[in-house]
Amino acid sequence: MAVSIELTKEYGYVVLVLVAYVFLNLWMGFQVGKARRKYKVFYPTMYAIESENKDAKLFNCVQRGHQNSLEWMPVFFVILLLGGLQHPTIAAGLGGIYIVARFFYFKGYATGVPDNRLKIGGLNYLALLGVERARSR
């Protein structure tokens, strides 16, 4: 039994948002690499240990900002792609807000004060919820 899905031209916006998120995550990965050099946390160490590195918290915050985005990426992609089938412009718009909020989430986390990630970055969860609501309609 074959299933046929017809995509509207607006679905292209959904794909653009997905690609933009990939580039955001690549940029975050480069930021982690820079932090590794700056704080002297070398591979394969995932997280710095405070008893061994005075800058452990600063590095770990940069690392966690990126790691958290990677953890949520599959959820975002599935919700975005499925929500975009029915409501592509809404899904793409909310996906764009999600990406901007994720940028600020990372930047806030990278300050070394974990609570800073939620000042503007916390909006990423609302945008994700909005995309999910569009998908389930």
CA distance 65 to 86: 31
Task: Measure the CA angle with vertex 90, ends 117 and 130; round to 5°.
Answer: 45
Does residue 121 surpass a pLDDT of 90?
Answer: no
Q: How confident is the model at residue 10 (pLDDT cuts 50, 70, 90)?
A: very high
Task: Output the pTM of the full model.
Answer: 0.89
CATH level 3 topology of 10-35+56-135: Four Helix Bundle (Hemerythrin (Met), subunit A) (1.20.120)
Domain ranges of the chain: 10-35+56-135
Residue 131 clears pLDDT 90, i.e. is over it: no
CA distances from 63 to 7, 34, 48, 111 (A): 37, 11, 10, 12
What pLDDT score does 3 carry? 86
